[in-house]
Structure 1
């Protein structure tokens, strides 16, 4: 099976005996409470989804990632995984100290061994990571809301700390499942949307080249107007059950916020799927994009900068339904012009679903649409 990023799958979970021992010491340590996004980062660090990272980034790794898209050790890495804290918290902890970490519900989840406490430039970071300092960009807006200090250091997690969500698998568990299924090649598909027919076309085109597919919605904080996590998962449950042969598709979640970082997020998402055991990763049009901040195929072009990712990107052009071809096809294989096409506009699909109407079955499977329309909360609100 494909090795994880950095060649070792990180596991920062404590065993039961050590967890019990350290829980007894928890209240005597300085305390830091994580919000939901930081909790997801914590779990991804502990489970190895962020291998080779063992904790929140120290300043050297942070600056190297922001400016050079790599860690100090040389491995490619595009997004800063950081623990932000208030000035008050920063003044109350010191390098060399161990701080207790609590989840969003206040429950103890583990520790961080503090190596550094440091400040950062918001504008410089946003310009490098998102290509803009415009606060209308949701990724920039989220970064501007971070607290003024970062704490860097390795983490340890208590043995029972995981998201309370369906379809959660640690990377090690996914690798066991792939082996059990006899899959030597696995393609990863990351999404933040409910599935339409063009998504299905990309997935099945990639599945023709591999033994199995990991369909992994990104389940976490999103901007207003995006689909809710529940709608995405339910729609994919219906699609996989009705339209995929048995033992060809695994549906699991990647617990993480959307960064809306376009090309950098495409590299990040591919590395995470490599850690899960994927050998290939689907990169479609405008991966992790938002508005007009990135070109339609910038997220594909960035892979040309990396010769050592260790996972093969499968780059697909625009897909649509063509009346002349009588099916869902892509620009690469369809010779017909736009008058023969029904294109899967995300904006139009949202408008139709908001109105309680069934989208054209050429764009979305009726069973999937019915499932979505049966839900109370389909879209994220402010």
Structure 2
């Protein structure tokens, strides 16, 4: 088992040009088509350029893509379980041809890399989802990202790195594979066990990682993901501050913390293989693999997407080929009468086993309840409490959706007045018509423009909630995908989200028709009108569902207020 050996048997594949060549590339790239990378794409590109995705020297060709999707191997036989492609729009792809060069830029317009175009194709995303994720259920966040937020055309080709993506945070912890390997060499670490995480670490995690390192006779690399994780996860800034606190409680010179800017796919077994390849490229000899490693939870029918040990089983099949050993994640429990953590399968009937689940931890944070010292270190608890205050001190969004004339704006206005009467937080009403006038006046009513309008509302709401305010949004928002995007935008910014479906029947809405819109839609004067010539996708699981043909706006607002109180957002 060698820390310097790579899983594919080749060299670490860094793709950066020399300083002189990079300067020349910048000049030449001024005349090339330019693509602004999404956050997801920027994560992939950084790990392609710095060698974490060795042996890849760019984005998959179509042949490699097909081989990876169907059989987890490149055309040359090298094991690679996750397709790495650059997705672009049809309009951008129309400018391209094989051999043409593309400038790849970050959100600020900085040239990060260039791409010599190889293949251009439109993938069958349903096949990719089924093979890579084992499902086409959009309750899976990776499948949802693929089917709804990935552009329609893939581009393969060879990359040339111009300069690394810029990070202004935690620069002392952002190390490339070569830098991590050099650190291991200087410290004399020949055996290193990596721990993959996307959550804060508590005492049980410390105990299991120490035990894993001891059993493997290895040093420990805490290697958390700080790129794209699962929607709803704690932000990486908070998590890294927690990691910096817990690393102080490990024995000196036994452990190291470094950050991984990975865009996770939550692909379960395939992702476990991917994580092993990446960690081997970073110089590790062992990887801790947990129960349901990189699993996204349950599907639309309430069943787990993957079996609890599927990831361990798949990695065990390939660990010799990858030259990296799996260390199974073993559950630890705090035994009060022994005053220590022990393996859960080593407890007996006389033991008083204490446990706090992730759900229970979130509840305690939301309600401002005590989190005991046996569970986590006080400084970590304080950090979590500082950035995740109780719900009654958080900002949140109430997002109304329903047909035109359903009563959304009326209820939202009534709720705004009730919340302002209570006081304590600023309240902003983002009514559909007002937003159209002041924020989206240049947009039409095509599906693309309606989606963009709703996404703008979601962005503004997320900023309001992030700073502790209350945002009341009252657009029609007819499409489920866009509503989910808004929910993720708000919650990822740290705000709460409550969806209210104003489920007033179409015939009632049409009878109200104060603006004459339904009459014009029936006459064909207005095209793509929701409920008449364009569909309204009914929310499946809103927090509140109200029919204003049955109750008054005042009572409807009161019902929402009671729900907010029950959820802990107001007192």
User: Which band: TM-score by shorter chain?
Assistant: over 0.9
- Unaligned residue ranges in structure 2 (runs of 5+): 298-303, 390-465, 467-490, 498-571
Larger-Rg structure: 2
SS in 2 for 1:219: coil
Which of the numbers 234, 237, 245 marks the counterpart of 1:227?
Answer: 234
Deviations 1:300-337 (A, max 9, x none): 111133140111110123222223543222234x1425
Range 93-102 or range 357-366, more displaced: 357-366
CA distance 1:158–1:358, change in 2 (3 Å): farther
Question: Residue 253 of structure 1 aligns with which residue?
Answer: 259
Q: Distance in 1 between matches of 2:89 and 2:223?
A: 33
Shift of 1:339: 7.4
Give the secondary structure class of the aligned counterpart of 1:32. strand
Deviation at 1:341, TM superposition (A): 2.1
Match of 2:107 among 104, 108, 114: 104
- Name the CA distance, whole Å, in 1 between partners of 2:277 and 2:355: 30
| Deviation string, structure 1 residues 209-241 (Cα, Å, up to 9, x no partner) | 334211111012233321110111010100002
In the alignment, what sits opposite 1:196?
202
- Matched position secondary structure for 2:321: coil
Aligned pairs for 1:202-351 within 5 A: 202-208=208-214, 209-241=216-248, 243-291=249-297, 292-306=304-318, 307-332=320-345, 334-337=346-349, 340-351=352-363
Q: Residues 62 and 160 (structure 1 numbering): CA distance in 2 closer, same or farther, change over 3 Å? A: closer
With 219-228 and 257-266 compared, the bigger mean Cα shift is at 219-228
Aligned in 2, Cα 1:173/1:78: closer, same or farther, shift over 3 Å? same
Query: Match of 1:73?
Result: 76
Partner of 2:518: none
Farther-moved stretch of structure 1 (280-289 vs 293-302): 293-302
Residue aligned with 1:67, SS: helix
Shift of 1:344: 4.2
In the alignment, structure 1 segments of 5+ residues that lack a partner are none
Which residue is 2:456 aligned to?
none
Give the RMSD, CA atoms, in angstroms. Answer: 2.0
SS in 2 for 1:25: helix
Shift of 1:353: 2.2
Q: Give runs of aligned pairs for residues 160-175 of structure 1, distance below 5 A.
A: 160-166=164-170, 167-175=173-181
Distance 1:216 1:169, change over 3 A: same
Deviation digits for residues 40-93 of structure 1 (CA, Å, limit 9, x no counterpart): 111100100001111111111111111111111212111111110000111110
The question of 1:2 aligning with 2:4 is answered yes
Query: Cα deviations across residues 171-228 of structure 1 (Å, max 9, x unaligned)?
Result: 0000111111111111111100001222112210122133421111101223332111
Q: Does 1:157 align with 2:161?
A: yes
Pick the aligned partner of 1:370 from 371, 375, 382. Answer: 382
Q: Which residue of 2 aligns with 1:360?
A: 372
Task: Tell me which residue corresponds to 1:43.
Answer: 46
Is residue 2:188 matched to residue 1:185?
Answer: no
> Distance in 2 between the 1:240 and 1:99 partners?
42
Decide which of 16, 22, 25 is 2:25's aligned counterpart: 22
Structure holding more helix per residue: 2
What is the TM-score normalised by the length of structure 1?
0.94
The answer to whether structure 1 residue 134 and structure 2 residue 146 are counterparts is no
Residue range with higher mean Cα deviation, 95-104 or 157-166: 157-166
